[in-house]
Amino acid sequence: MFDKRNIRIYYLRTLEKIRSFLLSRNSREFLIFLFFVFVSFCFWLLQILNDDYETEFSIPLRMKNVPNNVVLTSELPSELKIGVKDRGTVLANYMLGQTFYPVTIDFKDYESKGTQVRIPISTLLKKISGQLSQSTRLLTVRPDTLEFIYTRGKAKKVPVKLQGKIDLDRQYYISNVIYSPDSVMVYAPQEILDTITTAYTES
C-alpha cells in the first residue's frame, strides 16, 4: 500500500508530466487550434440561432375553485400545445431557461353557463401570450376549443373496507384491523350515490 509520502510523490510527478505536455510546442499548437475551432463553432451557432424557426411547446392547464359537490364527467385536457415562431435564440431560451406557468380556468366564471361548458381558446390567448416574448408569433393552439361537463352530486359518508387477502405465517393471527381514515366522503349524482355503500382499498 502507498503511504502519504509515496502518494504525494506520485501526484507531483503526474502534475509535472501534465505541465510539461501543456508547455510543449506541439501542445501549444494543438490548444491554439482547438481555441479557433471553438470560436468558429460559436460564430456558426450564433448565425444559425439568428434564423427564424417554428416549434411546439406544452403549457399546463388547470382548473380552480371547483366545489366539492361538483363531479366532472368530462374533464379538460391536462395541457395545451402551442405552435410558435421566433428566432432560434428566443426559442432556445424557452427550451432551456423559461418555465411556462399553468393556464388557469376559474370554475366560478362558468358556473352559470349550464352543465356543459365550451370555452373558446380565444379567451385564453391573453394568458398564453403574456408568457411569450414580444417578438414571438403564436401560430396555433391545440385544442382550439375546451369543453367540460359536470353534474352537481350529493354527498354521503361511507366506511372504508379492505379489498384483498392477508396470508400469515404459522402461529400468527390478526388481532385487529385499523383503517386511516376509517371513512370517506363520496360525491356523486343521487342515482349513483344510492348504490355506493362502501369504499374499498386498492388490492
- Are residues 141 and 116 both part of a single domain? yes
Poorest-pLDDT segment among 41-50, 87-96, 129-138: 41-50
Q: Tens digits of per-residue pLDDT, 134-186?
A: 889 999 999 888 998 888 878 889 999 989 888 889 889 888 888 889 999 88
Question: Would you tell me how many other CB atoms lie within 10 Å of the CB of residue 47?
Answer: 10
pTM attached to this predicted model: 0.58
Same domain, 85 and 69: yes
Range of the domain at 175: 154-200
> Domain total for the chain?
3
Q: Are residues 69 and 40 in the same domain?
A: no
In this structure, the answer to whether residues 141 and 79 fall within a common structural domain is yes
8 & 84 share domain? no
Residue 201 to residues 39, 162, 182, Cα–Cα distance (Å): 62, 5, 11
133 vs 13, which has greater pLDDT?
133
**Domain stop point among 137, 152, 167:** 152
Q: How far is CA 124 from CA 10, 63, 92, 114, 128, in A?
A: 66, 13, 24, 20, 6
Are residue 75 and residue 132 in the same domain, yes or no?
yes
Specify the CATH number for the domain of residue 83. Answer: 2.170.120.30
Please give the torsion angle defined by the CA atoms of residues 23, 29, 35 and 37, in that order, rounded to the nearest 10 degrees: -150
Picking from 151, 160, 157, 162, the residue whose alpha carbon sits closest to that of residue 188 is: 151
Residues 70 and 102 in one domain: yes
Q: What is the mean pLDDT of the chain?
A: 83
- Same structural domain for residues 67 and 122? yes
> Are both 96 and 164 inside the same structural domain?
no
Same domain, 137 and 116: yes
For residue range 62-102, list pLDDT tens digits in order.
999 998 888 887 888 999 999 999 888 888 888 887 788 89
d(C-alpha 125, C-alpha 103), whole Å? 10
The reply to whether 61 and 116 lie within a common domain is: yes
Tens digits of per-residue pLDDT, 176-191?
Answer: 888 889 999 888 778 8
pLDDT of residue 84: 92
* Other CB atoms within 10 A of residue 184 CB: 13
pLDDT at 198 over 90: yes
Q: Are residues 71 and 133 in the same domain?
A: yes
| pLDDT at res. 106 | 92
